Amino acid sequence: MFVIWWGTRKVVNRQGYAADFCPICREVAPMLICNVEMANHVYSVVYGKGETIGHFAQCQNCRSELPARLNKFRTLADAIAPLVTLVRTTNPTVYETEKGRLEIERMIKEGTPPLPRDVRFELMLEKFHAVEPEIRNRLDASRVDRPFIATLAAYIVAALFILPLVIRDSMRLGQVQVYLLLGTFLFLGYLMLTAHSRFLSASIYPKLGAALRPLKPGPRELDLILRLLTQRRLMAGTALKVKQLTGWLARTG
């Protein structure tokens, strides 16, 4: 059967580099600015110019994909450069505009004076908003990740190339190939089911834990924040769990 596979798909384009404040690193950091567009494709081959649906800035220190506002940059640099150079060329007033924010970070580090309750709560919320684009981009995408592809490739190599060399009896070879196929099939199913939780454990919980740790949020506060995020229809609210967050916060980082 001949199937024409076409439609629109999300395409990420690199726009350039700039310096900006990263709420996860809690300092000014180099960022890769990207735009996301819905582009037309036929058999996965993109054609024409798509419609831009948003921007994000990927911090080059912590790899977080943060919400980005393009109009704050004077220009974008074509290549990554030392931070001082990026600041000078792309965002020369960043230390001035983020002065209050950097002062708060100094207060958190030194613990004096204690942060006002509302400021502390807003800072905690900010961390969750910061990881939202990354969670959304990954959870919207396919569950087929690198371990899935590696498992599939290993199965093909083992079943088609290695086993026929080791097992000469064709009956026995057929049996072993069927068992291997079943085992691989089950394991691929397991990998697909756990794709999102593995992504959150590898990429989101560690940096969210490190970014939240100085603010010392309790389980009740975390629960309140996750419910607030769910009300705001943010994926972080439903994808993240208080128990895992407190587990990561308890680790010494």
**Closest approach of Cβ 55 to Zn ion, in Å?**
17
CB nearer Zn ion, residue 59 or residue 208: 59
**Closest approach of Cβ 25 to Zn ion, in Å?**
3
Query: Distance between terminal CA atoms of the chain?
Result: 55
**Closest approach of Cβ 73 to Zn ion, in Å?**
17
CB nearer Zn ion, residue 22 or residue 33: 22
CB nearer Zn ion, residue 29 or residue 135: 29
**Closest approach of Cβ 65 to Zn ion, in Å?**
10
CB nearer Zn ion, residue 32 or residue 200: 32
Residues at the interface with Zn ion (CB under 5 A): 22, 24-25, 29, 59, 61-62
Look up tokens 């439903």; give the residue. Answer: 238
Going edge to edge, which strands form the sheet with 45-59?
6-22, 27-42, 45-59, 65-67
**How many other β-carbons are positioned within 10 Å of the β-carbon of residue 241?**
15
| 192 close to 143: Cβ distance less than 8 angstroms | yes
DSSP 160: I
**Closest approach of Cβ 95 to Zn ion, in Å?**
16
CB nearer Zn ion, residue 195 or residue 210: 210
Cα distance between residue 96 and residue 131, in whole Å = 25
What secondary structure does DSSP assign to 174-223, as a single string? HHHHHHHHHHHHHHHHHHHHTHHHHHIIIIIHHHHHHHHGGG---HHHHH
